[in-house]
Amino acid sequence: MIADKEHLAMASVPVQTWGALYDKDEVLAAGTIFKELDMPFFAADHIPAKKGITDPLTEIQKISFILDDLRLYLDTHPDDPDALTLLKRLVKERKGLTVDFAKEHYPLTPDCMADIFEEKPDEMCFCWQEGPAPWEGGNV
């Protein structure tokens, strides 16, 4: 018996439905926001999850990653109301975090400087002068 939507000589993957999500502080360790898609490997079972890291850049990494994973879900579920509600909330939250980060530390993108130039027209930083290079391993 071939299930509905399945056909001979054709690959088939069931479409995911919206379900339980990890908390913001768990998503990086899980590698996904979706609990159902977290399928660990036995040889990586004992990697201790780093917890309680809340420096400003890590917070941006967490929320940006939730948005990355959410966007891929929306690419294949464009009408999902739960996903859209979360997207709308988090996009705004992320923008606030990146603006704050630019003010307190350094800009992550040239766009982040818009608010700062408005407040401080003499500011010289445009992107690369301040802060470590991303590959150097230092979060602020």
Partner 1 sequence: MWIYEKRLQYPVKITKTCPKTAQLIISQYGGPDGELSASMRYLAQRYTMPVKSVGGLLTDIGTEELAHMEIICAMVNQLTKDLTVEEAKAAGFDAYYIDHTAGLWPQAASALPFSAVEFQSKGDAITDLTEDLAAEQKARTVYDNLLRMITDPEVREPLKFLRAREIVHFQRFGEALEQTKEKMDAKNYYYINPEFDKKTV
Instruction: Give me the residues that bind partner 1 (CB under 8 A), please.
Output: 5, 7, 9-16, 28-32, 34, 37-41, 43-44, 47-48, 50, 57-58, 60-61, 64-65, 68-69, 71-73, 75-78, 106-111, 127-128, 131, 133-139
**Whole-number Å distance between alpha carbons of 69 and 126:** 29
User: Of the two residues 89 and 110, which places its CB atom closer to partner 1 in the complex?
Assistant: 110
User: Of the two residues 5 and 81, which places its CB atom closer to partner 1 in the complex?
Assistant: 5
User: Of the two residues 36 and 88, which places its CB atom closer to partner 1 in the complex?
Assistant: 36
Paired residues of 34 in beta bridges: 21
User: Of the two residues 18 and 34, which places its CB atom closer to partner 1 in the complex?
Assistant: 34
Q: Closest separation between CB of residue 107 and partner 1, Å?
A: 7
**Whole-number Å distance between alpha carbons of 83 and 128:** 34
Q: Closest separation between CB of residue 30 and partner 1, Å?
A: 7
**Whole-number Å distance between alpha carbons of 87 and 69:** 10
Residues in Cβ contact with 62 at an 8 Å cutoff, skipping those fewer than 6 apart? 24, 25, 27, 28
Q: Closest separation between CB of residue 38 and partner 1, Å?
A: 7
At 70, list the tokens. Answer: 């959410």
**Whole-number Å distance between alpha carbons of 56 and 139:** 8
